[in-house]
Amino acid sequence: MNLVELTQYTSNEERAEEYLREQGILKTYHDCPYCHGARINRVRRAKFKCYTCNREWGVRRGSILEGLRVPFTKFLMAIKLFEIDTSVREAAKQLGLAYNTVYNLHSLTRNAIFAADGSTTSFSGEIEVDESYFGGRRKGKRGRGAAGKVPVFGILERGGKVTVEVVSDVQSETLLELAIKKVKRGSLIYTDKFRSYNGLVSYGFKHRRIDHGKKFANGKVYINGIEGFWSFAKERLLKYHGVDADKFPLYLKELEYRYNHRDRDLFDDLIQLLVGYNRVAYTE
Ligand SMILES: [Zn+2]
């Protein structure tokens, strides 16, 4: 849904609420959540009432919106601003909301992405595998094992998706275990000369290596795809001016998600993710 289409739902609270209810982000009760009496009705602006037990509940009950005070219209606009990658500061200004409120909304969306984790997908065909280092203050020692940096392992299917994951180290065991878990046997894996990738063949993969020292790409033997993802990720992370180490995996999954959904309608996808997150967070 583009910005113009979205405006039909953000003109007033009723319309926005209706949309959120239709999508399943707001939970619709067909009977009373306390006594299961069927005689329920809307009372006042934001309440429902049961005429059997006389109890009332809010329109946001049972949804991720329950703890949020932000109007439904602004909630939808915040998702749009997240989609187009607006900073928290700028989104707060555009929405007339406090920085922390928007920060919490963006975190909610990011958590929904993380919880849905698309990386369980199996990869096959022509695969590029590589590791890279994120964070750290200065460039420091080049290459593998650079101090203070977080190693990330990535798998990319040519013409398909990417999956990335923070790893404790770049030992052969660690990296091969992930490759074995996620890539179908018999697939052709391209790597560079790093010795941790020795042994792929003995696990039933075909393996070709590229030597960066000699030539960047040799026919089909290249890992430009995964390296393209590393540049994409690093450039975007720069915008955040450094992410807390404990939040880094969340941001990394967001980038994986954005990369894998680059040709899709991100707004609609995010709404569906939030519906799924709703289901996880609220199982009444
Ligand atoms: Zn009741």
Give the pLDDT confidence of 235-262 residue by residue, as tens digits.
Answer: 888 776 667 778 888 999 999 999 998 8
- Whether 142 has a pLDDT exceeding 60, the answer reads no
Q: What is the mean pLDDT of the chain?
A: 88
Report residue 257 CA to chain centroid gap. Answer: 5
The pTM of the full predicted model, rounded to 2 decimals, is 0.84
Compute, in angstroms, the gap from residue 121 CA to the centroid of ligand 1: 43
CA dist 59 → 24, 159, 224 (Å): 13, 44, 50
Tokens of residue 148, six digits: 């203070």
Compute, in angstroms, the gap from residue 55 CA to the centroid of ligand 1: 6
Q: Write out pLDDT tens, residues 90-120.
A: 999 999 999 999 999 999 999 999 988 765 6
Instruction: Find out whether 270 and 83 touch, Cβ atoms under 8 Å.
Output: yes
Compute, in angstroms, the gap from residue 27 CA to the centroid of ligand 1: 17
Compute, in angstroms, the gap from residue 284 CA to the centroid of ligand 1: 15
- Whether 45 has a pLDDT exceeding 70, the answer reads yes
Compute, in angstroms, the gap from residue 35 CA to the centroid of ligand 1: 4
What distance in Å separates the CA atoms of residue 94 and residue 77, rounded to the nearest whole number?
Answer: 9
What distance in Å separates the CA atoms of residue 78 and residue 101, rounded to the nearest whole number?
Answer: 10
Which residues lie across from 155 on neighbouring strands?
A: 129, 163
Compute, in angstroms, the gap from residue 66 CA to the centroid of ligand 1: 20
